[in-house]
Amino acid sequence: MKMHLGSIIILCFLLCSLTFTASQTSIDTPTMQSLKSHLNLTKDIDWSNPNPCKWPTVQCDGSNRVTRIQLKTKRIRGTLPPNLQTLTELTVLELFENQISGPIPDLSGLTRLQTLNLHDNLFDSVPKNLFSGLTSLQEAYLENNPFSPWEIPETLKEATSLQNLSLTSCNVTGTLPDFFSSQTLPSLTRLELSQNLLQGGLPASLGSSSLQELHLNGQKLNGSVSVLQNMTSLVEVDLQGNAFSGPIPDLSGLQSLRIFNVRDNQLTGVVPPSLIGLKTLTTVNLTNNNLQGPTPQFEKSVGVDILTTNTNSFCLGTPGTPCDPRVSTLLSVAESLGYPVKLATSWKGNDPCASWIGITCAGSNVTVVNLGRQGLTGSISPSFAKITSLETINLSNNNLSGIIPNELTTLPKLKMLDVSNNDIYGDVPKFEAGVKVVTTGNRNIGKPKPLAPGASPGGDGGSSKGTSKAKIIGPVVGVVAALCLVGLGVCLYAKRRARRPAKVQSPNNHMVIHPHHSGDGDAIKLTIAASSVGGGGGTESSSSHAGNTDIHVVESGNLVISIQVLRNVTNNFSEENILGRGGFGTVYKARGVEYLHTLAHQSFIHRDLKPSNILLDDDMRAKVSDFGLVRLAPEGKYSIETRVAGTFGYLAPEYAVTGRVTTKVDIFSLGVILMELITGRKALDVSQPEDSVHLVTWFRRVAASKDKDKDAFKNAIDPNINLDEETLASVQKVWELAGHCCAREPYQRPDMGHVVNVLSSLTVQWKPSEADPDDLYGIDYDMPLPQAVKKWQASEGLSQTIDDSGSSSSAYGSRDNTQTSIPIRPSGFAASFTSVDGR
């Protein structure tokens, strides 16, 4: 069949038309139309053309594939469609500063995507596989979106071309992942994660990263910042507003560093010269830390924010002025301990003899360093040898490792070195004959340095999988079996002795423990009975179930304590702390109020310290009792409001007036007890003249005139105290301490740790001389308690009987006037306090 020329021309025209039309159509059109339908575009954006490649803010390549979508700062509302991942040639997606909401869709197919900029929108969730397959991604900006809490995904490791990552104010939680090394993310130079909810420490992989900018301010991050010393490419670092602690590391390798912001943390130690001397530094912010040593002096060209008043612990306020040599030496000691925060908050100023925790002086000479039971880690510093006036070093009951430095043997006045109950190893150096060295409780003392876990002599510590499993499974099975046996024993014993008081065979059979049945088979509790045991004490609001021993509940009538606390206060149930064994179990001694206030992870407030609640054992060691009014100090709060309870005469004024209670309430009570000890007077004594009824008021009046009238001071001291020169000096120290403890304002009172340090330095002087135990106080320790009490009463001229039920009667009818009684409210004493009465 022959075709006419005209027909051929028409056919060619149609074919050309079809080809032209096809070239004007993009295979991305359905996805782009879906995007258009999901967004509420403003009138100035015309996406009416059927070909998306003709749309403004959209760009395509030569094949009509969409490569760029840039709808930025247009106030666009709506959501994103779930099929954006079909735009496989997309390189730039910029939708920032709009009002787009809903989830960010799956983008895992966009292997050519280089820029993802969605910041300042209203997106509410992130796909779990975000960053998956985005091997070309160079920049990701998601900041300022109200995402539901999410964690940085593992798929971030697949974005191997990533240079900038900004997730500020994105509700990111969890910890920083440990894959920021240059091997994993070789191109990453800027990491912006500020104002999120991250916690934990800085991962080690940051030290081998290529980061130039690190912004982590406003988080819950903590731990050391030592990894910074290896980040040699850093130009800017912002760690403001976290809980980082420890010293600023050597930064001499950061030769490009310009901005260094670590304000509002808990950093300690001396500001390193390597930071001060950086030539590139333009801005440094160190305010609100616990930094020590001399105030650093930077170059004039450096913008410095380093407020020294009440924000750091520098020895002097003038930049560049060196500290007192005693301060420098003690800071060197603290350096070996990692500059603990507890020391940094106390070791302020240029005089270590001015109420530094753990430091006792004779004049201006440091004679005692008492840092026992402070939870310290690190090692013993040879710098102790520079404090030539030292007589006592107490580092017991910590977690110290390393050896005892030989340099300590050169201390000319040293009498006592106590490093017991640590992890010290190696031989004990040879000290002078008069020096007492206590090393008990160090399992490796006298032995070589212990091998690291898993290591073996002459080997690299490696092992087969079978051996590794055996090393793990063996102890686990052992522990589980032990727990099962203990649990079975506790359950059987509880059923047998439920609700029945049991005596403990302590030396005098005086201690009684009242076990309470909790009714919870999975709970393990230690209950210390208050005075109302058996009378329906308060209820507990929680207990320790299997797998959870972090108990911190204190309720009226009982104190519930975690196993870890028991380990802490008894030094892991050390044999040295055993008071007695018997019917109910083993009784251990522990350090009372100081532990409640400072050594525990959370602070407890006793609220009723008084002589009748401080018991003495046969060795005159004090034991705090009656925890019926104990309250837990809320974490992060300085005070709590509660109903006023306690004993008149021992109540702190602010507690009596407002009902607000802090640990300083116990300090006030202890101060009153110290006043009673050295004056022989009662806290409230109605037999005294009206202006002297209240011991604290009278004491302050005498203290105010002490310097002018020394006879009045001596006359105020209990006449039963033999005031030789040495005793008078000791009484003066206790007098001053009692006055500080009873200061009118709570913030003026010392911490319990300081009180312990002051008093412990006097114990050597006060320790009674050895005597025949049978002749001591004329007490026969084999005599039953009731008979011993009768004998004592007879010797004191008292007529009193104790019947079998434990009740007592007295010829005097009342013992309100005895020193050991609880002061009652005097007649005429107001039922409530005013600010004038309280102060």
* Pairing mode of beta strands 213-215, 236-238: parallel
Distances (CA, A) of 256 to 78, 227, 229: 44, 16, 13
Catalytic residue among 608, 626, 666, 751: 608
Characterise 727 by phi-psi region: left (phi > 0), alpha (psi -120 to 50), beta (else). alpha
Nearest 5 degrees, angle CA 808-CA 809-CA 812? 140
Q: What angle do CA 673, 679, 682 make, to 5 degrees?
A: 55
Which residues 6+ apart lie within 8 Å of 65 measured at CB? 26, 27, 28, 87, 88, 89
Q: Using CA atoms, how far apart are residues 28 and 582, in angstroms rounded to an integer?
A: 84
In the numeric block, the tokens 């191109």 are attached to 187
Task: Tell which residue, 650, 799, 661, has the closest CA to residue 738.
Answer: 650
Could you tell me if residue 73 is left (phi over 0), alpha (psi between -120 and 50 degrees) or otherwise beta?
Answer: left
Dihedral angle, C-alpha 112, 114, 118, 119, nearest 10 °? 160
For residue 85, give the DSSP letter. G
Alpha-carbon gap, residue 195 to 142, rounded angstroms: 13
Show the tokens assigned to 81.
């469609």
φ/ψ (deg, to 5) at 100: -75, 135
CA distance 17 to 262: 68
Q: How many CB atoms lie within 10 A of CB 678?
A: 19
Phi, psi dihedrals of residue 223, rounded to the nearest 5°: 90, -165
Cα R_g (the chain), whole angstroms: 36
Q: CA 550, CA 563: separation in Å to the nearest integer? A: 8
Q: Which residues contact 608 (CB under 8 A, 6 or more apart)?
A: 626, 628, 629, 645, 646, 647, 650, 669
Alpha carbons 712 and 715: distance in angstroms, whole number = 5
Nearest to 587 by CA among 500, 517, 496, 509: 509
> For residues 808 and 176, what is the distance between their CA atoms, to the nearest angstrom?
66
Residue 790: its H or E element: helix 785-796
Q: Look at residue 366 and give its three-state secondary structure.
A: strand
Please say whether the dihedral angle defined by the alpha carbons of residues 336, 337, 340 and 345, taken in this order, is positive or negative.
negative
- Please, are residues 411 and 384 in contact by the beta-carbon 8 Å criterion? yes
Buried b (16+ CB within 10 A) or exposed e, 57-92: bbebeeebbbbbbbbeebebebbbbeebbbbebbbb
Burial status of residue 55 (CB atoms within 10 A of its CB: 0-12, 13-18, 19 or more): buried
Q: How do beta strands 660-661 and 640-641 pair?
A: antiparallel
Residue 117 neighbours by CB distance under 10 Å? 19
Q: How far apart (Å, rounded) are the C-alpha atoms in residues 18 and 685?
A: 113
DSSP designation for 822: P
Is 44 catalytic? The answer is no
> For tokens 């096809």, what's the residue?
22
Which two tokens mark 61? 């390549």
- Catalogue the active-site residues: 608
